[in-house]
Structure 1
Amino acid sequence: MKLKSRIMHKGTRGHEITERQQRINVAISKIRYKVERTFGSMHR
């Protein structure tokens, strides 16, 4: 089984992220939002 990286990309000073990296970040954030909400509700 191959694992995929789910870490978001970050630009650095003077070096912006590419359009492809931005699209990947959007896809990751949609999944991450649901997971973070679930864990947040468990801690209440």
Structure 2
Amino acid sequence: MKIAQIGVGGWGKNHARVLSQLGALVAVCDADETRSKETGQKYNV
């Protein structure tokens, strides 16, 4: 299963980390463009 995550603030940071570890994270999106880019770069998505 591949997952695109919407929202990477608060709990979203933890979800992104776990989904990345599972190899399921393929994209992230957030209303805060900077946060979205930083998280995407951190997890190579």
Q: What is the TM-score with the length of structure 1 in the denominator?
A: 0.36
Query: Of Structure 1 and Structure 2, which has the larger fraction of its residues in strand?
Result: 2
Query: Of Structure 1 and Structure 2, which has the larger fraction of its residues in helix?
Result: 1
Bigger Cα Rg? 1
